[in-house]
Amino acid sequence: MKICLIRPPRVLKLMALSQKPAAPFGLAYLAGALKRAGHTIKIIDGAGEAPEQYNKFIDDFVVNGITSEAIIERIPADAELIGYSCMFTGNWLFDRALIDKIGDCFPNATIIAGGEHITAVPEFCLSQAKQLDVCVLGEGEETILDIIDAIQNNRDYSQVEAIVYRSEGEFLRTPKRARIRKLDEIAEPAWEYFPVDNYQMVNSANGVFRTRTLPILASRGCPYECTFCSSPQMWGTKYSLRTPAFVVDEMEKYMQLYGVRNFDFFDLTAIVKKDWIIEFASIIIDRKLQISWQIPGGTRAEIIDEEVSAYLYNSGCTNITYAPESGSQRILDLIKKRVRLPAMIKSIKASRKNNLSIKLNMIIGFPDETHRDIWKTIWFLIKCAWIGVDDMFPANFTPYPGSELFTRLIQEGKISLNDDYFKMIVISYTYSHPKRFSAHVGINALRFYTIFQLLLFYSCSFLFRPGKVFRMVRNLVTKKYETRSEILIAELFRKREKIIVLDTAQA
């Protein structure tokens, strides 16, 4: 079958704290599965084909990547199946319009969509995007092949697991699909269909861009059930790991094919089993690979001690992100974040002792959070600055579809799935207009705490270690960044130039 897969451009506020778009990992896995099955594939990477292009969208939002018209022009006229990636809820206002435009232009093609947003609210997406035929829930490698088989054999979709589809004016949901457990047997991401060089030219990475970078995955799923996260619905709570040697084999393959020397691990929870991570690091050391690798997403503290952190550093791990989310144990218990703060502090000290650059993921504004909880978080951040943590960014709590807290707030009537909600998702990345969900902390106090945490952490960090100031200035001048904060500061300066260009074009 002739298949076109689309990764849309990103919707954002131009001055949001965001980096360049990262290579679309999930779509690359789908391309790998389709390639193995012998299908003809065309990839349109809406963000990767123009990662420095920003176009006016609605209100004061912009679209980062090529235009809708450019995407439609690139779709092959004889495409039989068009797959659309809907990963991010904040993109939905753009996605639904583009899906319908594609349907109008290609009436004979079947249009399917998948990703975290689709998995969370498939019936809603079908009701809003009138040209969307099928929503794929969860992992897509097996499901897309079953959809193709149904189309080619003129069968209805009732026997295809893990989808929601249209049928005579109704939305029908099929049974769940068992998780893929044999991860070593999954087709590798087919990066040859993507503009890999474009990502390198703009220093794109989900972590810190140190040299040519690609994402990689060592596991799937997460064994935890945090109430602010959609992972339990997207993946379930089964956690599966690849064989360490297979992961390193894939890294070596990318080194040869694409000149990659830095790897971003996109795992939901990267380090859970001590034996696995030591074996993985040992293989890299034994093979004498001259690489760097990092964990830009949050990980946990349970098994990262001095022994593990030494293995991480010696195998090339440069940057690691911890995800305490809050400095209040009461809040951590309420959001089912199975973290004990003293254990995390101990782990952070071990990582710092072994020269890892550390970033913290924090969230402020949980529904049950009080002023006392926030001040506990502030004190926790001061202690982390004293230890030597390099980066911290306090995200405003945002209820994402599929999460337990999203369901709760819908039931309480505090949010609803409308255009204002999707705009709120995009705005939440700017800190300028946070949405209040706590009955105990007002909107002005929330705005103050968000900025205050940020400024206090970095002030303490520079005060405790004055050399960091000079290092940051040096890295910003030489453009050889070592931390996420340096990258974000540099990106904000670049975006200011884009504002002038956009305003001139608008005029």
The model's pLDDT over 79-110, given as tens digits with 9 standing for 90+, comes to: 999 999 999 999 999 999 999 999 999 999 99
* In a shared domain, residues 48 and 6: yes
Encoded amino acid at 256, one letter: Q
How sure is the predictor about 496, in pLDDT bands with cuts at 50, 70 and 90? low
Q: Note whether residue 155 is domain-resident.
A: yes
How sure is the predictor about 295, in pLDDT bands with cuts at 50, 70 and 90? confident
Question: What pLDDT is stored for residue 411 in this prediction?
Answer: 95
Are 223 and 237 spatial neighbours (Cβ–Cβ below 8 Å)?
Answer: yes
Domain boundary (173, 196, 214) is at: 173
Question: What pLDDT is stored for residue 402 in this prediction?
Answer: 92
Query: Residue 55: how many CB atoms within 10 A of its CB?
Result: 16
Q: List the structure tokens of 230.
A: 């959609």
Percent of the chain with pLDDT strictly greater than 90: 73
Q: Note whether residue 185 is domain-resident.
A: no
Query: Helix 274-286 crosses helix 244-258 at what angle (to 10 degrees)?
Result: 40
Which residues constitute the domain of residue 97?
Answer: 2-173
Which residue in 419, 318, 409, 327 sits closest to 373, CA to CA? 327
* In a shared domain, residues 365 and 486: no
Question: What pLDDT is stored for residue 109 in this prediction?
Answer: 97
Tell whether the model's pLDDT for residue 500 goes beyond 50.
no
Q: What is the pLDDT of residues 178-219, one digit of tens each?
A: 988 899 999 999 999 999 999 998 888 777 888 899 999 999
Q: Note whether residue 252 is domain-resident.
A: yes
* In a shared domain, residues 67 and 121: yes
Question: What pLDDT is stored for residue 431 in this prediction?
Answer: 74
> What one-character-per-residue DSSP string does 340-394 give?
-HHHHHHHHHHHHHTT-EEEEEEEE--TT--HHHHHHHHHHHHHHHHHT--EEEE
Question: What pLDDT is stored for residue 415 in this prediction?
Answer: 94
* In a shared domain, residues 142 and 96: yes
* CATH code for position 98: 3.40.50.280
How sure is the predictor about 317, in pLDDT bands with cuts at 50, 70 and 90? very high
Number of domains in the chain: 3
Tell whether the model's pLDDT for residue 63 goes beyond 90.
yes
* In a shared domain, residues 382 and 482: no
Using the structure block, give the residue that is written with the tokens 């050889």: 480
* In a shared domain, residues 122 and 28: yes
* In a shared domain, residues 17 and 158: yes
Average pLDDT over residues 42-64: 93
* In a shared domain, residues 290 and 427: yes
How far apart are the C-alpha atoms of 393 and 484, rounded to whole Å? 10
Are 252 and 363 spatial neighbours (Cβ–Cβ below 8 Å)?
Answer: no
Q: Which of 123-132, 155-164, 296-305 has the lowest mean pLDDT?
A: 296-305
Question: What pLDDT is stored for residue 208 in this prediction?
Answer: 80
Q: Note whether residue 199 is domain-resident.
A: no
Alpha-carbon torsion (153, 156, 157, 160), positive or negative: negative
99 Ramachandran zone, left/alpha/beta (phi>0; psi -120 to 50): alpha
Is 473 buried (19+), middle (13-18) or exposed (0-12) by CB count in 10 A? Answer: exposed
* CATH code for position 318: 3.80.30.20
Q: Note whether residue 192 is domain-resident.
A: no
* In a shared domain, residues 164 and 63: yes
Q: Note whether residue 189 is domain-resident.
A: no
Q: Which of 290-304, 448-462, 493-507 has the lowest mean pLDDT?
A: 493-507
Tell whether the model's pLDDT for residue 169 goes beyond 90.
no
Q: What is the pLDDT of residues 395-427, one digit of tens each?
A: 899 999 999 999 999 999 999 999 999 999 988
Tell whether the model's pLDDT for residue 504 goes beyond 50.
no
Average pLDDT over residues 163-180: 93
Question: What pLDDT is stored for residue 429 in this prediction?
Answer: 76
Average pLDDT over residues 130-155: 96
Q: Note whether residue 181 is domain-resident.
A: no
Strands (E), 209-334: 213-216, 219-220, 240-241, 262-265, 292-299, 317-325
Regarding predicted confidence, which is higher, 344 or 434?
A: 344
Average pLDDT over residues 155-166: 95
How sure is the predictor about 14, in pLDDT bands with cuts at 50, 70 and 90? confident
* In a shared domain, residues 291 and 394: yes
* In a shared domain, residues 359 and 274: yes
Which residue in 137, 131, 134 sits closest to 147, CA to CA? 134
Q: Note whether residue 198 is domain-resident.
A: no
Tell whether the model's pLDDT for residue 335 goes beyond 80.
yes
The answer for residues whose C-beta is within 8 angstroms of residue 302's C-beta and 6 or more apart is 272, 343, 347
* In a shared domain, residues 144 and 269: no
The β-bridge partners of 263 are 214, 293
Q: What is the pLDDT of residues 241-273, one digit of tens each?
A: 999 999 999 999 999 999 999 999 988 887 778
